[in-house]
């Protein structure tokens, strides 16, 4: 199989299969543009009644290369862009990626994303805008961006802010990984399918059967969602709108869960964590998904140029010492002016617009 995205027709379905297995199918700009072009071509094609998004299986059958649906975006490229061209290449990627996210969100024909494996960052952006979202036993969904000095973008502001019990705030700040059962419990997945039903579901959809009928017929109960046991704790501690208040709330709770959660929060960048909280708050007041993406593009254009982003990618991706030195280092050191500058409108000609 050649190409980083395999574009094909199977009966009445258009199929987009991510095919960059050694990078866990992480997105780059050519992949985004290929997917956008295909969706635009299929939008008005009467022979295509549904679109399937999944990942290709490694040709050699190596399960290590098939364990991710999509691990995110090309973070190393973004860091290089921030350091070398003032973020121009990074902004071009975000512009194209966010347009793809919006195209999926507003697509008239049903899109079915199979979140089979690691689904993080950009992979979430290919999942949550889809009308149908299938989780499996291998699903591990997360928005871990605050751990590298970024924020939960690709529509994260829209989707996470609308989850019950401040679960989205917990996910945004901790980067928690949700399994398939937890995705169903949270409403992030619409169905849970066993491994043996995946191929059959795709074939039945390609055969023209109604998507809801196929998925309802083949879905099974995912089992208990471990995170559900902590829902009251999440709602209680993450109800606060400032990072310092969340830290204090967790610090007053002697439970092992609170202690571990606070320890995790303290490894995240205070600036991007503060930005994430405001992002989720503002998204709730926005009129539509396009307005959310315009806001997130403003944030992305600024945050990728902060020292924290370069430092976070160094610590996690390049040197892998997992010891980032954040600046500012504490929630109380994050000044309001820093956050205001990140959310400020861009020059009119630089603002994000949908296709």
The catalytic residue positions are: 73, 122, 145, 153
> What phi, psi does 251 have (nearest 5°)?
-65, -25
Q: Reduced to 3 states, what is the DSSP secondary structure of residue 7? A: strand
The separation between the first and the last C-alpha atoms of the chain, rounded to the nearest angstrom, is 30
For the chain, the residue count is: 355
Q: Reduced to 3 states, what is the DSSP secondary structure of residue 123? A: helix
CB 21 within 8 A of CB 86: no
CB 2 within 8 A of CB 59: no
Residue 330: both structure tokens together: 């504490």
* 216-to-134, 157, 189, 192, 211 alpha-carbon distances in Å: 11, 29, 13, 9, 8
Residue 80's Cβ-count burial label (10 Å; 0-12, 13-18, 19+) is: middle
CA dihedral sign of residues 195, 227, 104, 305 = negative
Helix axes 270-283, 289-303, angle to 10 degrees: 160
């Amino acid at each position: 199989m050649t190409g980083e995205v395999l574009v094909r027709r199977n009966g009445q379905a258009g199929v987009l299969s991510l095919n960059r297995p050694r990078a866990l199918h992480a997105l780059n700009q050519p992949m985004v543009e290929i997917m956008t072009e295909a969706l635009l071509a299929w939008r008005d094609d009467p022979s295509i009644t549904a679109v399937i998004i999944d990942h290709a299986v490694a040709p050699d059958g190596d399960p290590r290369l098939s364990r991710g649906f999509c691990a995110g975006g090309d973070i190393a490229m973004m860091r290089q862009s921030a350091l070398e061209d003032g973020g121009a290449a990074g902004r071009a990627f975000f512009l194209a990626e966010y347009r793809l996210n919006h195209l999926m969100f507003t697509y008239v024909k049903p899109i079915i994303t199979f979140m089979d494996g690691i689904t993080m960052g950009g992979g979430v952006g290919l999942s949550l805008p889809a009308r149908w979202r299938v989780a499996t036993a291998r699903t591990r969904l997360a928005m871990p961006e605050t751990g590298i000095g970024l924020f939960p973008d690709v529509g994260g502001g829209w989707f996470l802010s609308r989850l019950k019990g401040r679960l989205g705030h917990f996910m945004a700040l901790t980067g928690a990984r949700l399994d398939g059962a937890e995705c169903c419990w949270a409403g992030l997945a619409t169905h849970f399918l066993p491994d043996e039903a995946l191929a059959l579901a795709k074939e039945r959809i390609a055969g023209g059967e109604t998507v809801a009928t196929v998925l309802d017929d083949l879905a099974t109960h995912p089992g208990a969602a471990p995170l559900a046991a902590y829902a009251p704790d999440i709602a209680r501690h993450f109800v606060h709108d400032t990072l310092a208040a969340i830290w204090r709330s967790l610090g007053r709770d002697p439970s092992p869960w609170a202690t571990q959660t606070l320890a995790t929060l303290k490894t995240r960048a205070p600036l991007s964590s503060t930005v994430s909280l405001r992002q989720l708050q503002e998204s709730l007041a926005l009129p539509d998904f396009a307005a959310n993406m315009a806001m997130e593009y403003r944030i992305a254009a600024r945050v990728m140029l902060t020292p924290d982003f370069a430092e976070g990618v160094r610590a996690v991706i390049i040197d892998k010492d997992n010891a980032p030195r954040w600046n500012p280092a504490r929630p109380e050191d994050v000044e309001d002016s820093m956050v205001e500058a990140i959310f400020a409108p861009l020059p009119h000609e630089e603002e994000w617009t949908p296709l």
